């Protein structure tokens, strides 16, 4: 269940996704928060930086810098996280992930849950529509992002 803070912070992750889309990249935004305090936000920057692991979640984690603990944080992401990002979530012990949408890409919710992560799916219409548009307009870039043949 999403609370008021979740709605607000997920909207900020969505805004990161829109910024990435407008830069010509993959529209996936993320944000790491401790309660209602934003530690960092980021977006998929694979295209912008030419970095194959610069996914939205990884960008937010990098920008958050070293934390003494992640066990009291929530990661917000506009799209269900891939295995690489899910592994980082588990590795750092992030206990809760709020996902904007998983209709366009069913990530690794089961993996996260199996490792004790609370997974909340928002089914956010804006997140869904943005990713649908991106996949329709840039199918080759989408295939590259998820390491599949176009």
Confidence of residue 148 (pLDDT cuts 50, 70, 90): confident
Catalytic residues: 57
State the DSSP code for 116.
T
Mean pLDDT for the stretch of residues 68-80: 98
pLDDT in tens, 91-108: 999 999 999 999 999 879
pLDDT at 44: 97
3-state secondary structure of 33: strand
Determine the distance from the C-alpha atom of residue 39 to the mean position of all C-alpha atoms in its chain, rounded to a whole number: 15
146, pLDDT greater than 80: no
Helix residue ranges, H only, 23-124: 46-49, 56-64, 83-92, 109-114
34, pLDDT greater than 80: yes
Whether this model's pTM surpasses 0.75: yes
The helix-helix angle for 4-22 and 125-137 (nearest 10°) equals 20
Mean pLDDT for the stretch of residues 62-86: 97
Confidence of residue 49 (pLDDT cuts 50, 70, 90): very high
Domain residue spans of the chain: 4-146
CATH of 4-146, one of 3.30.70.141, 3.40.140.10, 3.30.930.10, 1.10.3720.10: 3.40.140.10
């Amino acid at each position: 269940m999403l609370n008021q803070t979740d709605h607000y912070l997920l909207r900020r992750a969505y805004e990161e996704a829109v910024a990435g889309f407008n830069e010509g990249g993959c529209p996936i935004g993320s944000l790491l928060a401790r309660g209602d305090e934003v530690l960092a936000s980021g977006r998929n920057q694979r295209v912008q930086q030419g970095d194959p692991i610069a996914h939205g979640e990884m960008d937010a984690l990098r920008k958050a810098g070293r934390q003494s603990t992640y066990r009291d944080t929530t990661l917000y992401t506009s799209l269900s996280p891939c295995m690489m990002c899910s592994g980082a979530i588990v590795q750092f012990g992030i206990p809760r992930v709020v996902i904007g949408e998983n209709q366009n890409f069913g990530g690794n919710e089961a993996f996260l849950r199996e490792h004790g992560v609370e997974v909340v799916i928002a089914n956010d219409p804006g997140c869904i529509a943005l990713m649908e548009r991106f996949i329709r307009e840039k199918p080759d870039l989408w295939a590259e992002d998820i390491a599949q043949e176009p």
